[in-house]
Amino acid sequence: MKAYKDMTREELFAEKEKLEAMYQDYKGQNLALNMSRGKPSASQLDLSKGMMDVLKSDSNLTCEDGTDCRNYGVLDGIPEAKRLLAGMIGAKPEQVIVYGNSSLNVMYDSVARCMYEGVLGGKPWALQGKVKFLCPVPGYDRHFGITEHFGVEMINVPMTPDGPDMDMVEKLVSEDPLVKGIWCVPKYTNPQGYVYSDETVRRFANLKPAAEDFRIFWDNAYCIHHLYNGEPAQILNILDECEKAGNPDMVYEFVSTSKVVFPGSGMAALAASTANVASIKKQMAVQTIGHDKVNQLRHVRFFGDNEGMEAHMKKHADLIRPKFEALISIMEEDLGGLDIAEWTNPKGGYFIGFDSMPGCAKEIVAKMKEAGVILTGAGATFPYHIDPQDRNIRLAPTFPTIDELKLASRVFTVCVRLVSAEKLLA
Ligand code: PLP
């Protein structure tokens, strides 16, 4: 297809008229579709139905160290659950604290603790002035929501296919003692599906922060969420790399089983150095007597071990890979060669990152909504919801059925072409 910028005004006008008719046709169909939610579909949830059968009223609810999981106690998680979560990220079980049902909650808690109690006995961030976080963009809206909530100033750092712009990260971290943290999703980034290169991970581990209470918030949410469309991605173990670099305490790593089993009913964990774990447990002991050990036991009995979990993830991949492939092939078919958009082709995670021509994303999302297809709000992938170029859109193909997704994708490509043609004609 001819690139829009190479079309004459007349050609482009004719294209716009054709697209307008297609758009009106979709609008007349009273669609109610949704490509905004990074949620598993109902058939993915069905894969974990057996979770409901592994514990019964006559089950032995004693864990391997003899603890009766029905009662109070065990602050940092039962040993077999620690092992399972550690295995997901290649950590050692003693580096892991098992929390409750959500890693986002652990991240919120971690920022709150740093703000109000400080890091390893240091002065609370909240008493140090206007503290700052680096935010690789586009990124995960809920990360930015946490730091915004605590009044932390957020600084955009551009993302590349190998991870954040590390020259910028190193400069800002080493020069400004008010830079206290950075949000990272190292594997299958939300929303692009990028994977941090070994060099990026090593540069993170070797940072020389001006603030001794600087922490990397390493959200390994998609560590085992491969699409199995080629070799699964591998990343270096940040805890090991930080230790090798003489910075063992610089990272908090987060993980959960949300999108492995039932989101909202999974288990979450934080992994960190011995000093961090000891200090966090002291604070946690005030907060809780212990998290849900019955749920921890249920997970372990369901999966057995990390191999069992990997086999389960392959079943997820079989269900969602065709959806990623369908959306990408429709974009290639309808938008390829027009030179009006770019998108990623991930090997894992839950999203595809899409960039329109500058100044078009809001209008595309609005047009989609008018036609009955909900997308994640334009700007959501940036701190303060401000996409400086108004071009990034996060696409989430997992939740709709394949037929719904194909239809929504066709409406999307029509909206992208229509808005782009209108922009070029304006
Ligand atoms: N981290 C990332 C990068 C996510 O994309 C999501 C959910 O979409 C979460 C964390 C939420 O995890 P949890 O359900 O464990 O709170």
**CATH 3.90.1150.10 in the chain, residues?**
4-44+310-425
Tell me: the pLDDT tens digits for 340-380? 999 999 999 999 999 999 999 999 999 999 999 999 999 99
> CA 197, CA 235: separation in Å to the nearest integer?
7
Identify the CATH number of the domain defined by range 61-304: 3.40.640.10
- In this prediction, residue 411 has a pLDDT band, given cuts at 50, 70 and 90, of very high
Mean pLDDT, to the nearest integer, of 39-61? 97
**Would you state the structure tokens that stand for residue 24, as one six-digit string?**
């009106």
Atom of ligand 1 nearest to the CA of 103: 15
CATH match of 4-44+310-425 with 3.90.1150.10: yes
**Rounded distance from Cα 417 to ligand 1 centre (Å):** 32
> CA 416, CA 5: separation in Å to the nearest integer?
15
Mean pLDDT, to the nearest integer, of 267-271? 98
213: DSSP letter: T
Give the sheet arrangement for strand 251-256, strand by strand: 96-98, 268-271, 251-256, 215-219, 179-184, 132-137, 153-160, 163-164
Cross-strand partners of 395: 352
Tell me which of 107, 196, 219 to substitute to probe ligand 1's pocket, judged by most ligand atoms within 8 Å of the beta carbon: 219
- In this prediction, residue 46 has a pLDDT band, given cuts at 50, 70 and 90, of very high
Q: Give the count of beta carbons closer than 10 Å to the beta carbon of residue 217.
A: 22
Mean pLDDT, to the nearest integer, of 30-41? 93
Q: Give residue 260's pLDDT.
A: 98
Nearest in space to 103 (alpha carbons), one of 241, 214, 258: 258
Q: Give residue 32's pLDDT.
A: 94
Atom of ligand 1 nearest to the CA of 349: 5
Tell me which of 103, 107, 137 to substitute to probe ligand 1's pocket, judged by most ligand atoms within 8 Å of the beta carbon: 103
Task: Write the CB contacts of 155 (distance below 8 Å, at least 6 apart in sequence).
Answer: 132, 133, 134, 135, 172, 179
Res 37 pLDDT > 90: no
Exposed, middle or buried: residue 139 (CB in 10 Å: 0-12, 13-18, 19+)?
buried
Tell me: the pLDDT tens digits for 183-237? 999 999 999 999 999 999 999 999 999 999 999 999 999 999 999 999 999 999 9
> CA 266, CA 292: separation in Å to the nearest integer?
10
Atom of ligand 1 nearest to the CA of 268: 15
**CATH 3.40.640.10 in the chain, residues?**
61-304
* pTM score: 0.97
Q: Whose CA is nearest to atom 1 of ligand 1?
A: 221
Q: Give residue 277's pLDDT.
A: 98
- In this prediction, residue 247 has a pLDDT band, given cuts at 50, 70 and 90, of very high
- In this prediction, residue 9 has a pLDDT band, given cuts at 50, 70 and 90, of very high
Ligand 1 site residues (CB inside 6 A) read 38, 102-104, 140, 185, 190, 219, 221, 256, 258, 263, 268
Mean pLDDT, the chain, whole residue set: 97
Q: Give residue 1's pLDDT.
A: 80
> CA 73, CA 34: separation in Å to the nearest integer?
42
Q: Whose CA is nearest to atom 4 of ligand 1?
A: 221
Contact assessment for residue 133 and residue 144, using Cβ atoms and an 8 Å cutoff: no
What phi, psi does 402 have (nearest 5°)?
A: -60, -40
Pairing of strands 352-356, 341-343: antiparallel
Contact assessment for residue 260 and residue 313, using Cβ atoms and an 8 Å cutoff: yes
Q: How far apart are the first and last CA of the chain?
A: 22
Indicate the length of the chain as a whole number. 426
Q: Whose CA is nearest to atom 6 of ligand 1?
A: 221
